[in-house]
Amino acid sequence: MSTSSAENSNTRLASLSLAALGVVYGDIGTSPLYTMKEVFAGAHHQVPVTPDNVLGILSLILWSLIMVVSVKYVGFVMRADNRGEGGIMALIALATRQAGDNHAKQRFIMLVGILGACMFYADGMITPAISVLSAVEGMEIATPALSHWVVPITLLVLLGLFLVQRRGTATIGVLFGPIMVLWFGTLGALGIINIRHAPDVLAAVNPLYALHFFAQNGTLAFIALGAVVLAVTGGEARYADMGHFGRKPIRIAWFGFVLPALMLNYFGQGAEILHHPESVKNPFYLLAPDWLLIPLVLLSTAATVIASQAVISGAFSVSRQALQLGYLPRMLVQHTSEQEVGQIYLPRVNWTLMIAVMALVIGFGSSSNLAAAYGIAVTGDMVITSILAAIVFHGIWGWSWVRTAVLIALFLIVDLAFFGANVLKIPAGGWFPILMGVVIFTLMTTWKTGRELLNKRLKDDAMDLEPFIEAISANPPTRVQGTAIFMTQNPYSVPHAMLHNLKHNKVMHEQVILATVKVQDVPHVPQPERVAVQNLGHGFFRVMVHYGFKDDPDLPHELEDCAQHGLPLDVMDTSFFIGKETLIPRPRSEMAFWREKLFVTMFRNADSVTNYFKLPPNRVVELGAQVAL
């Protein structure tokens, strides 16, 4: 490699690592705002402030970060990529591929994976609320008289954050990296300054202090894990954003900057608590001298907004993947950047998140109250990731069951300990992510099952394509000039729209194309491999269009490639025929009647095929039919 190439490679690696600071580590980077406060001064089960307890908690936090983030996610899970892409949907695709034709195993993977996605959505609601709220609460330390303004200011910041989503982050995104460099630098600097007051806290790097904490405190130590887990949030974001930055920049940012800064700050808070026990009310802000409080509140607010932005962008990305894989109904997807394909905006997801986040702020009122709701979603996602990773390690990587079981057991011991501690917080707020998870799980499984049932009904009523073409050739109807494209999910049967057109208009175009779109269990399908054309004779063609679950459907653009397969098309001189089904729920079907009603409602409110596939509206003909579920 030439010197210039090496320099360019190093420059790109540095820039990606810097960008990863802003996007990938925003969530975990703002955890010092509230973790130690919740352990020693939280609303539930406070740990007494003693030197042994402080050292025990610091040791727990350090080794939790090492085990969960460094070993589990950065060391192993991030290696389970689907052609470079990560995230719960990519993990589902990998695990499902390994299941082969085992339908029971496929269904188990689908249900577990959807549950993990639901936990991610619940986390996406709580993270912006607790992060911004904990940052703004710093005003109470700087000026106690402003304490009653904390919630209104938090709501204004969140409102502004969700309002700017439709404009994208291309303009302000360039600031995310530098701001987070300043943030992590400030975390480290404040930690170093305060460690001088009680340097003995550095002894907590010894894991024996964590074990001693459990031996001395028993049940209280287990309950404290429910607050300690706040230090390891954001694992799914690291995994999901792997496709944007790659494994190496994320690892460099973690080991080279984020982990040292976090631990210096946590150890600094521990030193501050030992030196001034009364500082447990907000040890993060009390690390700073009085003159730095207001600038620190502003910097903290900026950092939490960036952390929230990363979670919101992750929700958009997961939603699009779920939509492509058939777990959510079609919805409008807007691109906010001409350069970055991954920068998207989903209005329905945005406004739903905004309502949920603002309701959380108003309902819980403080970060301490919200902390009780936070852990369930995070730890639930951690457990599900471990289960799916086991399937990938054994089935895709070829590990033996013994090797897989040993590693996954180690992960699950930690994950289930955190999860169990958070189960105890269900009455205090943990019910919220469970409720949200159940609601989203019901919606996603209802849509998936409903679509399968609808396709089964349409297939049962459909006519085989080849005999139909032979019958048309034997007794041809009037053939009119032009091309007709019939959108169909079953490429081997006659589309209902074609039968209706022939029945009512008594004509057929001289060139008829049956277009079927298939979404593969890979992130992207290369452009040359997307289109396949088959000449069926008598003017009929079958066109298969393949997308990955992160590709953006644009059917007219793909159809232009048909010319390379001997089928030249002028999209603006083509009519698109779409079947528009009116669904009628019926009792005693394969689905519960209430779920049928829910599916029908979701079906009616789904975005149109025309918008979703970017078809020219003035070239679309919709032909309706009633279908009894």
pLDDT digits (tens, 9 = 90+) for 518-577: 988 777 888 888 999 999 888 899 999 999 877 888 899 888 888 888 888 887 788 999
For residues 491 and 463, the answer to whether their CB atoms sit within 8 Å is no
Predicted pLDDT of residue 43: 67
DSSP output for 3-27: HHHHHHHHHHHHHHHHHHHHHTSHH
Encoded tokens for 369? 């109250």
Q: Is the pLDDT of residue 159 over 90?
A: yes
Closest CA to 26 of 226, 222, 316, 250: 250
Q: Six-digit token pair at 331?
A: 């919805």
Contact between 482 and 575 under an 8 Å Cβ cutoff? The reply is yes
594 Cβ contact list (under 8 Å, min separation 6): none
Handedness of CA 233, 239, 242, 243 (dihedral sign): negative
Distance (Å, whole) CA 6 – CA 17:
16
Q: How confident is the model at residue 472 (pLDDT cuts 50, 70, 90)?
A: confident
Neighbours of 108 (CB within 10 A): 16
HEC string of 571-623 equals HHHEEEEEEEEEEECCCCCCCCHHHHHHHHHHHHHCCCHHHHCCCCHHHEEEE
Question: Does residue 118 contact residue 437 with C-beta atoms inside 8 Å?
Answer: yes
- Answering whether pTM is above 0.85, one says no
CB 382 within 8 A of CB 418: yes
| Banded pLDDT at 376 (limits 50, 70, 90) | confident
Mean pLDDT of the chain: 86
pLDDT tens for 120-138 read 888 889 889 988 998 898 8
CA end-to-end span of the chain: 62
Helices (H), 483-570: 496-505, 555-559
Distance set, CA 443 to CA 9, 317, 449, 594 (Å): 45, 18, 10, 12
Sheet holding 620-628, edge to edge: 531-537, 540-547, 507-519, 478-487, 574-584, 620-628
> Looking at residue 8, what is its pLDDT?
63
Pairing outcome for strands 334-335 and 478-487: unpaired
Specify the higher pLDDT residue, 115 or 586.
115
Computed from CA positions of residues 351, 354, 356, 362, in that sequence, does the dihedral angle turn out positive or negative? Answer: negative
Q: Which amino acid is at 285?
A: Y
Residue 243 has pLDDT above 70, yes or no: no
Identify the bridge partners of residue 579 per DSSP, sorted by sequence position.
623
Contact between 184 and 29 under an 8 Å Cβ cutoff? The reply is yes
Give the lowest-confidence range in 112-116, 198-202, 253-257, 582-586: 582-586
Beta carbons within 10 angstroms of residue 358's beta carbon: 18
Output the CA torsion sign for 189, 192, 195, 197: negative
Contacts of 532 (CB under 8 A, 6+ apart): 543, 544, 546, 565
Please report, rounded to a whole number, the percentage of residues in the chain having pLDDT higher than 90. 33
Q: How far, in Å, CA of 192 to CA of 625, rounded? A: 70
Average pLDDT score over residue span 180-202: 93
* Whole-Å CA distances, 249 to 33, 231, 317, 610: 25, 21, 20, 39
Q: What is the structure's pLDDT at 414?
A: 94
For tokens 């402030």, the residue is 49
**Chain position carrying tokens 């409102």:** 159
Per-residue model confidence as pLDDT tens digits over 324-375: 888 899 888 887 765 555 567 889 999 999 999 999 999 988 888 888 888 8
CB neighbourhood size of 101 (10 A): 6
